Homo-oligomer: A and B are copies of this chain.
Amino acid sequence: MNQLTNLSPADQLAQHEQEAKDLTRILPASKKVYIQGSRPDIQVPMREIELTDTPTGLGGEKNPPVMVYDTSGVYTDPNVKIDLNQGLPNVRETWIAERNDTERLNTLTSKFGQERLKDIRTAEIRFAHIQKPRRAKAGHNVSQMHYAKQGIITPEMEYIAIRENQRQREGVDMRQHAGQNFGAHNLMEITPEFVRKEVAEGRAIIPANINHPECEPMIIGRNFLVKINANIGNSALGSSIDEEVAKMTWATRWGADTIMDLSTGKNIHETREWIIRNSPVPIGTVPIYQALEKVDGVAEDLTWEIFKDTLIEQAEQGVDYFTIHAGVLLRYVPLTANRLTGIVSRGGSIMAQWCLAHHEENFLYTHFDEICEIMKAYDVSFSLGDGLRPGCIQDANDEAQFSELRTLGELTHRAWQHDVQVMIEGPGHVPMHMVKENMDLQLEVCQEAPFYTLGPLTTDIAPGYDHITSAIGAAMIGWYGTAMLCYVTPKEHLGLPNKKDVKDGIITYKIAAHAADLAKGHPGAQVRDNALSKARFEFRWEDQFNLSLDPDTARSMHDETMPKEAHKSAHFCSMCGPKFCSMKITQNVRDYAQNQQHAEQATSSQTVIEDGLKTMKSVYHEQGQKLYHKV
C-alpha cells in the first residue's frame, strides 16, 4: 500500500484492489457461517471447514465439517462489501443503544481530540466518518462487569457463549485427553449465565468500549479458550497509517483475538481512528505513549491532566482496553538498580523517570479512582501494566517485579469496587522452571483476574527467533492459566515487524494458545487435531492443508517436493515414497487385530460351550449320573 496521505480514499481503493481481494478471500474449503442466538441480531460468526470423504479403500465414510473460531470479521464474508473508508458494520449498536444508559455527545470531550478534528494539517489522513461519541449518562456505569454483577446477561455475553462453544456437528471426533488445568473450570458447554458469572466475579473480561460497536464480542479468562494479542503500531522511524491498517486486518485474518496499537510516531490519533473503525476485534493501547508525545517526549513534563485528557480522547474513539502502569511505585524503582537490563517496559520507564524526577508517587496510582470513573463511563477495561517486568533471563522473578505484581493485586480490587473490568500484564523473560511461580503468584494476589503475558521468552540468545523462544514460555504459562498471550514477532528486539513478521508471530502464538487449550483439557479443543490427524492417516492432503492454521504455507511446502496435482490424492508421502508406507501397514494391523478378535470370539464361544458342557457334566455327576429326573 502507499501512504494514505498522498491519495484520496477512492484512489487508495483502486490501488489496493489486489490487496483487498487477498484480504477478503475466504480461507480454502471454508464457509463463513453465522449461528443465531436468542434474538435475530445475535449472529455469531464461525468458519466451517469442509472435508472430503475417506477414500473408499479405507472405509469411504463422510467426514463432517469442522467448525473453528473466527476472528476475521466480515472481511471473509463474501456477502459484505468491504470499504475501509466507511469502516465496518456496527454489530453492537442496537444493544448499546437499547440499554438506554448512554448518550451521544455533541462534541468530543477531550481537548486534544477537538483540536485534532479542527487541524487542517491532518484533514487528508483523517477518517472521514467519525461519529459523535457515546458516554454513560451521569451516574451510570456501562461496564459489562456492572451489568454482570446485577445479574444481567447482555447480548454480548450470549454472543460469547455461542462463540466459545464452536458448535461442532454430529459425527465429529470429540475424543480428547482429560488435561490438567490447575484448578480452572472448563465447562463442557459454556452458557450465557456462565459468561455472566465469570465476568461478575472478575475471572474474565469482555473488552467492549461502547464507542467500538464494530467489535465482535469476545472474552478473556482462564475458563475460556486461550486468546492471543498482536501488537501493531508505527514508530518515529517508520510505517504509515495504511500499513498499520493492513497489518490489523491481516492479523485478524490469521487469528489475532485482540490488537494493540502501540504507535509512538506522528499521527497517533488518526492512525488509531482508522484502526478502530475497521477492526472486528478489541483494540488496546498504552495511553502514556501518546501522552508522552504531547509533552514532546520529556517524561517529567507529564501531568495527570494531560494523561486524563488522553484517556478520554482514546475512550471516545473506542479503545477497548488501556494498559496503565499504575503499579510502578516510587519505592520499587530503586529495586531495579542492580538488574542486568534495568527497566525495559517503555511505560514502566516513563513512569519511573517521572517518579524520580518529581520524587513523588506515580500519578497513575494516586489518581487510580479517577481513572476508574473514566473507564466505567465508556466500558474500557484495565490491562494493568507490568512496568517492572524483567528484560532478560537474569532479571526474572525479582523483588521489583513481584512487588509491582502485589500492587497490581491491590489495584485489581479497587477497580472491581468500581465494577471496572481488569486484566493483569505479565512477563517477559523467564526461564522455564520459573514460569509457574509467576502464574501462581498472579492467581493468588489478583484473585484470578485474567493474566495477560508477553511470551515469556525462555532464553535471550536467539534474536530473530524470539517468536519461538517466547512461544515455549507462552504455551506453558497458557497451560498454567494465563488467559491471553501477547505475541512476539521474529523482529522483537531488532526492528518493526512487517506483514510477514506479524503473520509468523500470530501463527506461532495460535500454536501456543492451542497447545495450552489441549493441555488444560478445554472441551472440544482436540476436535481439529483429531480431524487433521485422521486426514493425515488417510492421505487426504487437501483436508490436511485446509484444517491447518496456515493452509497456504502447508500447501506450498508440500508442493515443493510433490508438485503434481495427482500427488495430492496419492497414498504415500514424500518421506517414504510410493513403494513403502507406514500408514498402509496400519491397515494390515487393523485387519490382523480384527481377525484376532474374531478368533478370540470364536475361541470364547467355544469356551462357553465347553464350560457349559463341563457344568452339565458336573451336574450330571452330582445328580447321580442320571440323564432324566423326575419333576
> How far is the CB of A166 from the nearest CB of chain B, in Å?
13
Out of B343, B468, B516, name the residue touching A585 (CB < 8 Å): B343
**A585 — nearest CB in chain B belongs to which residue?**
B349
A573-599 CB contacts (< 8 Å) to partner B: 573-583, 585-590, 592-594, 596
Q: Is A544 an interface residue (CB 8 A)?
A: yes
Do the beta carbons of B468 and A544 come within 8 Å of each other? no
Do the beta carbons of A526 and B299 come within 8 Å of each other? no
Between-chain CB contacts (< 8 Å), 22 pairs: A175-B340, A236-B577, A299-B580, A334-B589, A336-B589, A343-B589, A352-B589, A394-B530, A431-B518, A432-B479, A432-B515, A433-B519, A458-B515, A458-B519, A459-B514, A462-B549, A465-B550, A468-B471, A469-B515, A490-B557, A494-B573, A495-B560
- Complex Cα distance, B476 from A519, in Å, reads 13
- Known contacts A235-B575, A458-B515; is-contact A529 B337 (Cβ 8 Å): no
- Known contacts A237-B562, A534-B340, A560-B498; is-contact A334 B461 (Cβ 8 Å): no
- Complex Cα distance, B498 from A493, in Å, reads 28
Task: Point out the residues of chain B lying under 8 angstroms from A352, CB to CB.
Answer: 585, 589
A327-352 CB contacts (< 8 Å) to partner B: 333-334, 336-346, 348-350, 352
Q: Is A512 an interface residue (CB 8 A)?
A: yes
Task: Point out the residues of chain B lying under 8 angstroms from A340, CB to CB.
Answer: 173, 175, 530, 533-534, 537
- Complex Cα distance, B491 from A573, in Å, reads 12
**A490 — nearest CB in chain B belongs to which residue?**
B557
Do the beta carbons of A394 and B175 come within 8 Å of each other? yes
Q: Is A267 an interface residue (CB 8 A)?
A: no
A501-543 CB contacts (< 8 Å) to partner B: 507-508, 510-512, 514-516, 518-521, 526, 528-530, 532-534, 536-537
| 15 additional A-B residue pairs with CB within 8 Å, beyond A339-B586, A462-B510 | A177-B393, A180-B433, A237-B578, A334-B592, A341-B537, A344-B582, A344-B586, A350-B580, A350-B585, A393-B529, A433-B479, A461-B528, A468-B511, A491-B561, A493-B573
Q: Is A136 an interface residue (CB 8 A)?
A: no
- Complex Cα distance, B563 from A237, in Å, reads 11
Q: Is A545 an interface residue (CB 8 A)?
A: yes
**A582 — nearest CB in chain B belongs to which residue?**
B349
Task: Point out the residues of chain B lying under 8 angstroms from A180, CB to CB.
Answer: 433
> How far is the CB of A539 from the nearest CB of chain B, in Å?
11
Question: Which of A468, A516, A550: most chain B CB closer than 10 A?
Answer: A468
Task: Point out the residues of chain B lying under 8 angstroms from A592, CB to CB.
Answer: 333-334, 337, 356
Out of B236, B468, B476, B529, name the residue touching A460 (CB < 8 Å): B529
Task: Point out the residues of chain B lying under 8 angstroms from A491, CB to CB.
Answer: 557, 560-561
Q: Is A85 an interface residue (CB 8 A)?
A: no
- Complex Cα distance, B583 from A495, in Å, reads 16
- Known contacts A511-B469, A589-B356; is-contact A548 B464 (Cβ 8 Å): yes
- Complex Cα distance, B621 from A559, in Å, reads 97
> How far is the CB of A187 from the nearest CB of chain B, in Å?
18
Pick the 8 closest A-B CB pairs, nearest first.
A342-B586, A495-B561, A236-B577, A337-B593, A392-B533, A349-B582, A432-B519, A464-B553
Question: Which of A180, A432, A434: most chain B CB closer than 10 A?
Answer: A432
